[in-house]
Structure 1
Amino acid sequence: MANGGLDTMSLCEQKSALQDLTMSQPSFGIRLVNKYIPFVMKFIILLALLPIFTGAVQKCCTDKQFTAILGEPNQIVKGNFQFTTLAEDFTSKLIATETYSFSPGNSSTKLVRVVQDFNQKKMFVIFDSTSTCTAKDLTYDMPSNCVPDDAEFIGQSYMGFAPNQVNISAFKWKFAGTADLLIMFNDNCVPVVESISGVVGSDPVDKTYTFTNYNTGISDRSVFNIPAYCTQ
């Protein structure tokens, strides 16, 4: 297919691409990479222009296990679009993402898989196509699947148009000590938009994601598998 897959890259090129793709990766709270701050500002400005209601809103909890697709604005690398699948298991303290590249008319190519194991306090960046792997220590805990008690309620608004509009409630709180985390949920406590900015560990972060294809449970747990060739 067109440029963008890592399966034909040298190990050196992979490491360079890795810096762009995964300066760190998610949890309900952390999806690191960087760039595209203008979209964050545009989204916040758009939200500010919508009717905001600031009554008392009950804090909620997401599912303890779920999958979703993360969307990122302007995520184009070497002419190809990218998307990321997400699996979060708060019971087992595991998070996995798989980032794919695709171009119109072509099948998708998996670029990288990232597994965060909060039991081992390790993050594994895995290139399945070339059987290479990098391990990194996690310096933060996996957050709860619930909005914390000290979270600040920002307000309520909606996305879309009646009768198909989606009501959203926005909360902000600190993540990993210093980063600001803003998450917008629908009425069922499904995350709709997530924005994180600041420093997580030693990595600067400014990122916004949208959630689509949300499903309760994790049907394919192989996304959490750590190959034997990974350095631990």
Structure 2
Amino acid sequence: MYFVAFLGILVTVSAARLPPISGAPTRPDEAGPIHLNEAGPMDPERCCAPAQYTTHLSANIAGVLDTGKLSTIFTKGRVAYDSINELIGREIIVENLSNGTEKVIMDYNKLKGYYITTKQGVVKCQKFALEGKFPQSCVPDDAVFIGQASLGDRALVADQWYITKTEDSHTTHQIVSVKTDGCVDLSSNMRIVDSNTGMELQSDVVYWYDFKLGIDDPGRWFKLPAECEGIKVTKLPAQLRHSLGYDEKLKLFY
């Protein structure tokens, strides 16, 4: 196991009206995406990820700045997912912490999360509240099946799903690729747009790799350092609000 680098590369591009996602299914009489509530007769069964695993990821995250332009960050990380014990862990190396480390532990048994940074040997910990139930990593019931794709001579076959969700004033469009045999996440292409104007607010492209079943070292992922003991719950750290896949359940691209 090892920490992976967080690349703080910033690129600015103009925000613009764009199609929801290339390849998303559309109605013949409309430009908008189809959103079905029931599976089609030829759809594969919706599936859930294995109960315990670790995986690496690489992501390209773009969000709108106050200036109206997009800030793009390229990053790599590693995630531990444990639905049996309802724990999620994530860690990366952060260059803006002078090669320090950033770690997140989410404990849904206690509905508490921890944001832990280490810089030049100094460990700091913040505790925040979690809401709701453990976020199971499953293909949603209302996902639209697009089709299958294969890598190589059918060495790896993946199901392609289109997911959309509207809440408040924005709409999320997402295409996910999931390994047909085993329901392992492979990639995600997501865009968040203003529901009224169509203006792009955020764009994320994520790839998962080096998937391994089980949690080989639970202590490494989920044991809290002494600095987290006895601290009070505070607001969610600002760094996490702009982090990978943040939403109301703080999924963090598990």
TM range (shorter): 0.5 to 0.7
Q: Distance in 2 between matches of 1:142 and 1:57?
A: 25
Q: 1:155 aligns with which of 132, 137, 146?
A: 146
Cα deviation 1:11-30 (Å, max 9, x = unaligned): xxxxxx9xx9xxxxxxxxxx
Q: Which residue of 2 aligns with 1:32?
A: none
Structure 1 position 223 matched with structure 2 position 221: yes
Structure 1 position 45 matched with structure 2 position 32: no
Between the two proteins, the alignment pairs up a number of residues equal to 180
Give the share of equivalent positions with the same residue, in percent: 20
2:56·2:79 contact (CA, 8 Å) conserved in 1?
yes
**Structure having the larger proportion of residues in helix:** 1
Q: Distance in 2 between matches of 1:97 and 1:176?
A: 26
2:61·2:204 contact (CA, 8 Å) conserved in 1?
no
Q: Distance in 2 between matches of 1:160 and 1:37?
A: 34
Q: Distance in 1 between matches of 2:151 and 2:14?
A: 23
What's the Cα RMSD here?
4.1
Amino acid at match of 1:152: A
1:176 to 1:123, Cα distance in 2 relative to 1, 3 A: farther
**Structure having the larger proportion of residues in strand:** 2
Structure 1 position 94 matched with structure 2 position 66: no
Amino acid at match of 1:169: Q
Unaligned runs of 5+ in 1: 6-16, 21-34, 49-53, 103-108
Task: Give SS of 1:73's match.
Answer: strand
Q: Which residue of 2 aligns with 1:191?
A: 185
Alignment of 1:77-88 (within 5 A): 82-88=75-81
Cα deviation 1:151-171 (Å, max 9, x = unaligned): 222311325444545433315
2:60·2:74 contact (CA, 8 Å) conserved in 1?
no
Amino acid at match of 2:216: S
Q: Distance in 2 between matches of 1:224 and 1:85?
A: 13
Q: Which residue of 2 aligns with 1:127?
A: 117
Q: Distance in 1 between matches of 2:185 and 2:111?
A: 25
TM-score normalised over the length of structure 1: 0.60
1:205 to 1:74, Cα distance in 2 relative to 1, 3 A: closer
1:183 to 1:141, Cα distance in 2 relative to 1, 3 A: farther
Q: Distance in 1 between matches of 2:14 and 2:208?
A: 18
Q: Distance in 2 between matches of 1:219 and 1:67?
A: 8
Q: Which residue of 1 aligns with 2:249?
A: none
1:64·1:145 contact (CA, 8 Å) conserved in 2?
no
1:66·1:89 contact (CA, 8 Å) conserved in 2?
yes
Q: 1:141 aligns with which of 129, 133, 139?
A: 133
Specify the structure having the higher radius of gyration (Cα): 2
Unaligned runs of 5+ in 2: 26-39, 63-72, 194-200, 233-254
Measured after TM superposition, the shift of residue 114 of structure 1 is 0.7
